[in-house]
Amino acid sequence: MRILDVRPDHEDEDIDLGRAVVRSEIAHPARVVMIVRGRGSEVAQFADRAAGRADPFPYREVLWLQDPRVFPPGLEDALFEGEDEWCAVVLSLEDEPVVWLAPTAALWEIELAFLDAQAAGGARR
């Protein structure tokens, strides 16, 4: 799991670096990406469960964007469709949102989300 945040007095640098990481990971041709957003204990517990399901697999990545400024312009709205109850979205190999998850999602729901995203995206052309 990669945690992307913005430090005081390093805003421009951290936002630029974070956005580059987000674009690079989403564009990876052989990686299913889960994007987690927000802060708080419930989101932190969710992110830990998600990392536990992603870390053993080199083709799964979890990006935890703790600060919304790290999202490239328009990406958060495009991925989460304005729904505040979702803390995570899983993207297919085609970079399309496949499954959205609330912070209360169980471990098995997180695993199924990764599997659904893997099945949804074919080889990139």
Give the span between the Cα atoms of 42 and 60, in whole angstroms: 22
Work out how many domains the chain is built from and give that number.
Answer: 1
Cβ–Cβ contacts within 10 Å for residue 124, how many? 11
CATH number of the domain at 93, please: 3.40.30.10
Residue 33 forms part of a structural domain = yes
Q: What is the pLDDT of residues 6-22, one digit of tens each?
A: 999 999 999 999 999 99
Q: Cα 86 to the chain's mean position, in Å?
A: 11
Give the span between the Cα atoms of 42 and 108, in whole angstroms: 17
Give the span between the Cα atoms of 69 and 8, in whole angstroms: 13
Q: Whole-prediction pTM value?
A: 0.93
What residues make up the domain containing 99?
2-120
Q: What is the pLDDT of residues 29-85, one digit of tens each?
A: 999 999 999 999 999 999 999 999 999 999 999 999 999 999 999 999 999 998 999
Give the span between the Cα atoms of 71 and 123, in whole angstroms: 26
HSE-up of 95 (CA within 13 Å, CB side)?
12
Residue 125 forms part of a structural domain = no
DSSP characters for 63-109? EEE-SGGGSPTTHHHHHHTT-TT--EEEE-TTS-EEEEE-TT--HHH
